[in-house]
Amino acid sequence: MNNLEDIVSLCKRRGFIFPGSDIYGGFAGTWDFGPLGVMLKKNLMDAWWHFFVETRDDMYGVDAAILMNPRTWDASGHTATFADPLVECKECKSRFRADKIADGITESVTTEEFLNTHTKCPVCGKENWGPIRKFNMMFTTHVGAVLPDDDAEIAAKNIAYLRPETAQGIFTNFKNVVDTIYPSIPFGIAQQGKSFRNEISPRDFILRDRECSQMEIEYFVHPDTWEENFDKMLKLNHEFLESICGLSHDKIHDYDVPAEDRAHYSKRTIDFMYEYPNGEEELMGLAYRTDFDLSNIARESGKSMEYRDKNTGETFVPHVIEPSIGVERLFLAVLSSAYVVEQVDGKDETRTVLKLPTNLAPYKFCVSPLLKNKPELVAKAREVYDLLKQKYTFVTWDDSGNIGKRYRKQDEIGTPKCVVIDFDTLEDGTVTVRDRDTTKQVRIKIEEL
């Protein structure tokens, strides 16, 4: 089992992920994707979109604004209930999420229950706690011309939130989609985009950050068919995680969330738990949200959210099955599943390899001349590079250091094939192709690449 620190270090060393605002000493709970990270992240998001939207007849996409009318969050219940139990140490003034520092309690913990756990402050070691307070995790901002010296009343009128989930951008467009596309039920609306949560204590690298990218689908069904559609979505999401993302079936555990731990809108939730290097953590969630959201929107907006079945003529408010996955969580699962340190065949050394599925690897090929000081080799290698770049797009060039060092570097960023041009290439038009996973080399003709 690899550990999280090794992966964080690889991410920084090879340009996958940097701490946010690194140059100013960072900014808690934020991370920046570097050149390689952007490629892997985009591949993951594209693979998801292709699998769940483009290849299906029953899925449609939206891309809603991050800033939404605040009534959205009143209707959805976020203003009232999207809160974590905050507890403050009276000795050192450190603040924590109560359910994260004490064992055997949930988000709905009371002050008494927390005190009974006799938890010591993780910072100063004392046991002197204030009461549990509910801390709303939505980021607030002000929309329009609000000045710092405006009174609280003016400021409050102009308050807006950075969306805490992408789902509401889908629900609020339900009627628009139905009235323009006339989809047959069951159908889904998908969205990818940023969402924001003011985590009390961000931690565990990109697993618990304050700004993340989500990929969500609201799958609208007839209320009588929610169970079969829930099962279909469950299977479909396993297929995506295992066949497309290369995650091992044995490391994904379905956890049927008991009623008291479910989000306020859900009647059934399955958390897909993944065995991350630092332990089991939630990778994604599948929730049956009933007609909670559409009915709330109907009440808040005064507009009907009913759907009329074209075949039966029946009119009803659809129920919803929601698969929701955080891109960063998926990113880390894929990275840690691909990360391998292994013995080099016949040698007393190890190598670090990212055994990423080819469809996700940032680069598919690396092209290099055996020697960089031989102009004829470099010219030929450039020719091969241009050819592959045209054909496969995701091709990189490397003529630094010696060939062994180049292989190590490409192994670490997960490039499946390294193509090397040597003197034989000039004679017979063949190149060496070295495989990332087996390290075996074969000679093949340039045309066969």
Chain positions contacting Zn ion, by CB under 5 A:
89, 91-92, 94, 121, 123-124
Cβ-proximal residues to 117 (8 Å cutoff; 6+ apart), any chain:
102, 103, 104, 105
Of 91 and 291, CB closest to Zn ion: 91
CB nearer Zn ion, residue 123 or residue 159:
123
Nearest approach, Cβ of residue 160 and Zn ion (Å): 35
For the CB of residue 32, give the shortest distance to Zn ion in the complex, in Å. 31
Question: Minimum distance between the CB of residue 130 and Zn ion, rounded to whole angstroms?
Answer: 11
**Assigned token pair, 70:** 């605040």
Toward Zn ion, which CB reaches closer, 133 or 142? 133
The SS3 assignment for 362 reads coil
Q: Report DSSP letters for 160-175, one per residue.
A: EEB-S-SHHHHHTTHH
Closest separation between CB of residue 101 and Zn ion, Å? Answer: 11
Rounded to a whole number of angstroms, the minimum distance from the CB of residue 85 to Zn ion is 17
CB of 397 to Zn ion, least distance (A): 53
The tokens for 162 are 């950075």
74 phi and psi angles, rounded to 5 deg: -70, -50
Give the nearer residue to Zn ion in terms of CB position, either 115 or 244. 115
Q: Please give the distance of CA 44 from its chain centroid, rounded to a whole number.
A: 8
Nearer residue to Zn ion within complex by CB, 129 or 230: 129
DSSP 329-345: HHHHHHHHHHEEEEEPT
Nearest distance from C-beta of residue 210 to Zn ion, angstroms = 23
Report residue 259 as tokens: 């009623």
Alpha carbon distance 205, 193 (integer Å): 20
Could you please report the per-residue DSSP string of 178-200? HHHH-PPSSEEEEEEEEEE---S
**Considering the complex, what minimum distance in angstroms separates the CB of residue 87 from Zn ion?**
10
Three-state secondary structure readout of 86-113 = EEEECCCCCEEEHHHHCCCCCCCCCHHH
Distance CA 359, CA 364 (A): 8
Nearest to 321 by CA among 185, 195, 211, 184: 185
Q: Which is nearer to Zn ion, 124 or 444 (CB)?
A: 124
Helix residue spans in 302-449 (DSSP H): 327-338, 375-392, 403-413, 423-428
Tell me which residue of 292, 42, 43, 35 sits closest to 171, measured CA to CA.
292
Minimal distance in Å, beta carbon 203 to Zn ion? 17
* Nearer CB in complex with Zn ion: 100/364: 100
- In the complex with Zn ion, the residue whose CB is nearer, 89 or 284, is 89
Burial class (CB in 10 A: 0-12, 13-18, 19+), 391: exposed
Name the residue nearer to Zn ion (CB basis): 126 or 443.
Answer: 126
Q: How far is residue 66's CA from residue 168's CA, in Å, rounded to a whole number?
A: 10
DSSP 273-287: EEEETTEEEEEEEEE
Cβ closer to Zn ion: 13 or 126? 126
Smallest distance, Å, CB 166 to Zn ion?
Answer: 36
3-class secondary structure, 223: helix
